[in-house]
Amino acid sequence: MRATTRFSGGDLRWWTLATLFLCARLWSSSSPSLTAAADERVVTHLPGFQGPLPFQLRTGYVEVDESNGVRLFYYFTASEGSPADDPLMLWLSGGPGCTSFTGLVYQIGPLSFDLGGYTGGLPKLVYRLESWTKVSNIIFLDSPVGTGFSYSVREQGYNSSDTRAVNQIVIFLKKWFDEHPEFLSNPLYIGGDSYSGIIVPTVTSEIAKGNEVGSEPYLNLKGYLVGNPFADFSGFDEPSKIPFAHRMALISDQIYECVKDIFPFHILEPLCAYASPHEYSFLKLKMDSGIQKMQHLQDYTGERLSLSEISTECRTMLYTLSRLWANNVTVREALGIHKETVPLWLRCNNNIQYLKDIQSSVKYHLDVTTKGYRSLVYSGDHDMAVPYIGTQSWIRSLNFSIVDDWRPWYADGQVAGNVTVSLTIGIYVMCRYTTSYSNNLTFATVKGAGHTAPEYNPRQCLAMLSRWLAGDPI
């Protein structure tokens, strides 16, 4: 005869609660990246992507200004290696005003749009093999407010600046870690490109200061990385453009004819207007500072421009697909977007209320690196928006000594760029190399890449990141 166990009402309730608690603990320990915070959604499927996502994705909001109701939106992608052990990177896109979705889908994330054969409707998404999530957890943050899906309840909350954005990013991180304490022990890196070259080292410096004075929670900050970064527009970035053009054999006696029709973010890439079979009907004149006329494509959603009329050779057509995708109702539902907060999503919002009140980030680079934090600065060597020689110049100004001289670095058996490790700077060989300096600063160029290097050379950039995170020579 089989024995039976009888429970009283109180015992049964206790046993049930204990069982549920144990199951929850087992589930969270086996899949820590699937435990969602209060205002966060676990996303297993996305409109436009066939089947379940082959990686772990969460989306959510963190309030960073309670008085105005400022809520910053983020995409969190867990590492495809070991989420519990791999580094955690906060990724910020440039602009200011460009969504971090740019990083997620166009540069370093596990998704990409399928351009081939697009005939209309919801754009298709595909899995990107060369994602940086192979070696790192990544938070893609829409900052400043007014960027991507980030919003403010009160109108005055949209007033932002470099310093305000930095402060809100630090608040975001601390609140995010409060909701995700399981990642507090992971090595933390702050990363970004383009205009975030102003923001990233400043955020890193503020986190370091917070750790020094005992701010809670303590963040396991290890360093930062910036790609083709703005650092000092008038001092280094802008003055480097003419010397760069000369080195790249762009300047001749007909300098104006040579320069006017090139795409400044990659010197060998034509303006997308010229990839259209009806190029001139899609051009408009725009006054730049009241002095210089510049040609721009008509708004992609305008009646005069059809996606089917743009050549697939136009790489930046992919940017148009993001606008179609992110403004789709089913997409917004899948991402958990708060209704009626962002009527029209823009990849880059050029109308944000923003004050550029940090003129140079060089002092923040100096502050962070001299405290022992690691830094990786990389540049696509075909970028004329932020030429690598300007980046070299401000790195020289730090007066660090070189510990690994200017040398080529390789990926897939080919020269992928040049690298220098730490800096007083000696003689540079004009190749694609790397240099390592004292104070854990590494500078690398990426051969043939434009302003957003991973977008042009994803395999090489993943190799670069993997080696750097592992502490290996690039």
Q: What band does 281 get if pLDDT is binned at 50, 70 and 90?
A: very low
Instruction: Please determine whether the domains at 37-232+318-355 and 363-470 fall in the same fold group of CATH.
Output: yes
Which tokens sit at 181? 């304490």
**363-470 is classed in which CATH architecture?**
3-Layer(aba) Sandwich (3.40)
Domain boundaries defined on the chain: 37-232+318-355, 363-470
Q: What is the pLDDT of residue 367?
A: 96
Split at pLDDT 50, 70, 90, the class of 315 is: low
For position 423, what pLDDT does the model report?
40
Query: Considering the entire predicted model, what is its pTM?
Result: 0.79
Fold of the CATH domain 37-232+318-355? Rossmann fold (3.40.50)
Task: Give the gyration radius of the chain's Cα atoms.
Answer: 24
Query: Hunting for tokens 């403010």 — which residue is that?
Result: 152
Could you give the dihedral angle defined by the CA atoms of residues 22, 28, 29 and 34, in that order, rounded to the nearest 10 degrees? 160
Q: Each residue of 92-127: b (16+ CB within 10 Å) or e?
A: bbbbbbbbbbbbbbbbbbbbbbeeeebeeeebbbee
Using CA atoms, how far apart are residues 36 and 42, in angstroms rounded to an integer? 6
Reply yes or no on whether the pLDDT at 165 is more than 50.
Answer: yes
Alpha carbons within 13 angstroms on the beta-carbon side of residue 245 total 20
pLDDT value at position 235?
60
30 vs 165, more confident? 165
Whether cis (ω within 30° of 0) applies to the bond prior to 187 is no
**Annotated active-site positions, please?**
194, 383, 451
Q: Exposed (0-12), middle (13-18) or buried (19+): which is 376, by Cβ within 10 Å? A: buried
Displacement of CA 31 from its chain's centroid (Å): 25
First-to-last CA distance in the chain?
Answer: 71
User: At what angle are helices 196-212 and 162-179 packed, to 10 degrees?
Assistant: 60
Greatest pairwise CA separation for the chain in angstroms: 103
